[in-house]
Structure 1
């Protein structure tokens, strides 16, 4: 035999040796099920009950998801309406703000600040002379 054949046979032998404990476990499990068929039917019923519970939970999740989706759609529609209202208010307010800013600038340039007391006037006069 060639080296490649020896390697192939060795690999096959190792795989069979690794599978042997698993095969023995399966054989013992099958023998136990044959001895106690009631345990098999009980396990099958428990599995069926678990599947029914999982399906019911899935239906509840779908229903909750649908309700959440509807509520979210309602809020999005309301937010869209508010966004449009705010855009309209902004479009109307910008020219008014520009006019108000221009009027304030003109008012500041036209009138010197009103001084409340003679001391403030004297102080302002002294500062202007110091420049």
Structure 2
């Protein structure tokens, strides 16, 4: 055997030793994996159960969100309806207030005139009858102002 053969043999022995060392390390690692395989399977099963619970929670959350959305839409439509009703009532109240204001403005000069006439009658004496009766029921329905006021009150109902 020549020196070259011996050197090749030595290199081959070293490589076989390294291979043997790596094979032993791999065997130990596989042994650990086999021992931990049961715990790994349990971990995977637990992970799957957690995933299913999370999916169920997401479904319940979606259902709750959909329900809340429908309730909000219902309340919103009711509030819009109430808003429209309030706007209508407000406009109607403003119209009635304008009518009453107009009636009061027209009634003021008549009341002042009536007061002046009553003072004149009282000054002339107690035997004369006033031009306008004190009681509105004494005439046919009272003055025009009183009739307008009663009519406005009836419309307000």
CA shift, 1:34, in A, is 2.4
Aligned to 2:38: none
**Which 4+ residue blocks in structure 1 deviate beyond 6 angstroms?**
none
Unpaired runs of at least 5, structure 2 = 1-45, 129-157
Match of 1:92 among 100, 106, 117: 106
CA shift, 1:112, in A, is 4.3
Deviations 1:8-52 (A, max 9, x none): xxxxxxxxxxxxxxxxxxxxxxxxx72522221111111111111
Match of 2:88 among 58, 61, 74: 74
Counterpart CA distance in 2 for 1:76 and 1:60 is: 24
Counterparts of 1:48-127 in structure 2, within 5 Å, are: 48-112=62-126
Q: Does 1:45 align with 2:65?
A: no
What is the alpha-carbon root mean square deviation over aligned residues?
2.2
Q: Does 1:34 align with 2:47?
A: yes
User: Whose relative contact order is higher, 1 or 2, with alpha carbons under 8 Å and at least 6 apart?
Assistant: 2
Figure out how many residues of one structure are paired with residues of the other and give that number.
Answer: 83
**How high is the TM-score relative to the length of structure 1?**
0.57
Counterpart CA distance in 1 for 2:115 and 2:47 is: 94
CA shift, 1:66, in A, is 0.8
CA shift, 1:110, in A, is 1.8
Q: Which has the larger radius of gyration?
A: 2
**How high is the TM-score relative to the length of structure 2?**
0.48
